[in-house]
Amino acid sequence: MKRIMIAALAIFLAAQAQAAEVSRIVVGFPPGQATDIIARLIAERIGPILGETFIVENRPGQGGSIALAGLAKSQPDGRTLVLAPLASMVANPHLYKSVGYDTLKDFAPVALICDLPMLLVVNPSLPVKTVPELIAYAKAHPDKFVYASSGNGTLSHLGMEDFKRRAGITMLHIPYRGSAPAMTDLMAGVVNSAMDTVAVTQPFIQSGGLRLIASGYSQRVPAFPDTPTLAEQGFPGFGLAAWLGFVVPADTPKERVEALSAAIIKVVQSDDIGQKFVALGVIQRTAGPEGFGAFIKSEYSRWGEIVKATGARVD
């Protein structure tokens, strides 16, 4: 009996130790979306580096803010991370009355990992091929120009509102529940323009279902190197990408943050992940805790100004 009890205790302790080495990457979006795919690619590869098991947990809602609100209340042990996008980190706090966290106080930045460039596209029936032509058409038909977004408060919404403001044009906004239905209606001519990621728009551009007008990114994107940016077509300084980065709760031990950061950046900079990012229309962009922290502060201020200037609000 004593031997049985000792064996049972050993099994229990081993199980406890194994459970303690399981870490979570929380994603604020459903499975299958770009953020989820990227989180799973990284989770699979950082585990062996750190000698841990990483699982991905989807907690969608409020444009990614529900996941961050949960993280703000998590234990600061570095076992729970959120792969956070631009929207939930630096735009939603300015859009919603309450998101349940303070971006600048509740989180410790771990690593910035990539950009998801945005593209400006139109229905092919629209008689425009450049940004100046689009602006002229919108000014001539202020009651007919309608753009789609993947939802209120998303980057596809805020990016178009910022472009509309800078261009001095009138455009009616139709929000959808995600990019897929927005693209369906755009190709059907229900709406006539949109701004979304390369991953979302590329298949339809290549099939002829959509016409690419400009890269909304700060540079031309590898998938469409002959397409000028918005900056090149009269909007200097315009650069739009749905960046992603890992954060953990504030007060997480510095050693743990640095270990996570080193492992994540090593994986992101690998040739294997680089090739997968290219296939997803994603551009590698890395920064460690200090650099990412400074970037978050800058972006928080920038998007606060954009939200204020556009008058965008989400109830």
pLDDT value of position 1 = 53
φ and ψ at residue 239, rounded to 5 degrees: -150, 120
Indicate if the pLDDT at residue 15 is higher than 50: no
Residue 20, both tokens: 């303690």
- Answer with the residue of higher pLDDT: 79 or 14: 79
Q: Terminal CA-to-CA distance of the chain, rounded, Å?
A: 63
Residue 77, both tokens: 């042990």
* pLDDT tens per residue, range 108-136: 999 999 999 999 999 999 999 999 999 99
Indicate if the pLDDT at residue 94 is higher than 70: yes
pLDDT value of position 143 = 82
CB atoms within 10 A of CB 135: 20
φ and ψ at residue 298, rounded to 5 degrees: -65, -45
Sign of CA dihedral 89, 92, 94, 99: negative
Distance of CA 68 to the CA centre of its chain: 13
- Answer with the residue of higher pLDDT: 36 or 151: 36
For residue 310, name the pLDDT band (cuts at 50, 70, 90). confident
- Rounded to two decimals, the pTM is 0.85
* Mean of per-residue pLDDT scores for the chain: 91
pLDDT value of position 13 = 43
* pLDDT tens per residue, range 38-62: 999 999 999 999 999 999 999 988 8
Distance of CA 296 to the CA centre of its chain: 13
What is the C-alpha to C-alpha distance for residues 307 and 96, in angstroms, rounded to an integer?
11
Domains of the chain: 2-115+243-310 (3.40.190.150), 118-215 (3.40.190.10)
Indicate if the pLDDT at residue 225 is higher than 60: yes
Indicate if the pLDDT at residue 160 is higher than 90: yes
Provide the residue type at 22 as one letter.
Answer: V
pLDDT > 90 in the chain, percent = 81
Q: Report the pLDDT averaged over residues 214-227.
A: 96
Cβ partners under 8 Å of residue 122, min gap 6: 128, 134, 186, 192, 193, 194, 210, 211, 213
Closest alpha carbon to 96 in 314, 305, 310, 311: 314
Q: Quick one: which H or E segment has residue 278? A: helix 271-280
What value, to the nearest 5°, has the Cα angle with vertex 235 and ends 232 and 237?
90
Judged by average pLDDT, the poorest of 12-26, 67-81, 90-104 is 12-26
Indicate if the pLDDT at residue 144 is higher than 90: no
What is the C-alpha to C-alpha distance for residues 162 and 67, in angstroms, rounded to an integer?
26
Residue 241, both tokens: 């990408």
